[in-house]
Amino acid sequence: MNKFFYFLLAVALVWAVNEPTFAGNPDRQGEAGAAQLLLNPYAKSAGLHSMTTSMVAGAEAMRINIAGLSRINQTEVNLSYGSYLSGTDIGLVAGGLAQKIGKSGAIGISLMSVDFGDIRLTTTDQPEGNGNTFSPSFFNLGFGYAHTFENKVSVGILFRGVSESITDVSAFGFALDAGVQYVTGEHDNFKFGISLRNIGSRMQYGGEGLATQGPSPNGDAYELTFSQRAADFELPSMLNIGLSYDFLIGASHRLTALGNFTSNSFSQDQVGGGLEYSLNDLFMLRAGYRYEFGSEDEIQAPIYTGLSAGASVSMPLSKENPNTRLSIDYAYRDTKIWDGTHNVGIRISL
């Protein structure tokens, strides 16, 4: 009970310190950059609109709540691909590796890249293109650690490098994630989680691509090269608070209900909930709904306000060790425009 009290006190302090920053300020909407940090490529959590703050575990926890990284058997590999906003030809490629250290700790590494495809290179003289193409390089690489205390409280921290570039212009920054999860109940069926994400340095673009040539200010007959300075921008920081409860029906069935609240620094706050059904941890169905405050405005309404759904099939690979599994995940998220987002992933647990 004392540990639970200290845990709640820590949560309250984190909330009190960050409450002025995380106020869902719509006036700041669009001021942050590095929006790739808000994208979730992992299919299992995407099926619940990434609202699994309280219950996420393994490699994908490095995208939702780093505290869940240590809740694995021994080793987990997660590979995922997302068809982002189907019809735009943008893809999300991600991979994560989680490895147990000792009895209660775990380290992990995650990588996500955004594939924009080939974009026509246009100029002011050739607005229809000059026959060449280019493809931006957006990726982030994270290293995380989490520790579980007596199977009740998990805490974690993750450092992430964020890179965005084209041929002659680039930007790089660092981000920090921190999280905590609390598990209680007779069958560990009540879970509570809080995560603070994307706290880090400001980013700024630089490179030869920002240089332009123009006439000399002295009126000379030759041109000079002028170096432009791009404005810097902040990362899209957010605070997630979630809880979930497992309803155990007999020995084979589990129904999990969850709720989640997201406070964004640079956009409106979000709230939502979902359900996940599991049959012997072999087959799972899930569905969620997320609502963003202020989404009544059809023009400014977010892309992802609405429904999500997903499914998983998990197959044991060893009779001696049922925790050795191969799992296949799929998720679909409805979008205001385009044709939704599809995610598919493979998880290997050893």
Residues 236-275: pLDDT tens digits? Answer: 999 999 999 999 998 899 999 999 999 988 888 899 999 9
Please say whether the beta carbons of 227 and 209 come within 8 A. Answer: no
Torsions phi, psi for 59 (to 5 deg): -65, -35
- Residue 100 in tokens: 């147990």
Give the per-residue pLDDT at 24. Answer: 54
pLDDT band, very low/low/confident/very high, at 85 (cuts 50, 70, 90): confident
Which residues on neighbouring strands pair with residue 306, listed in sequence order? 290
Neighbour tally for 265: CB within 10 Å: 22
Can you tell me whether residue 20 is helix, strand or coil?
A: coil
- Residue 28 in tokens: 């700041």
The alpha carbon of 214 is separated from its chain's Cα centroid by a whole number of angstroms, namely 43
Rounded to whole angstroms, the Cα distance separating 216 from 118 reads 37
Domain 2-196+236-349 has CATH 3.40.50.300: no
Closest CA to 36 of 177, 235, 232: 235
Rounded to whole angstroms, the Cα distance separating 327 from 345 reads 8
pLDDT band, very low/low/confident/very high, at 50 (cuts 50, 70, 90): very high
Give percent above pLDDT 90 in the chain: 59
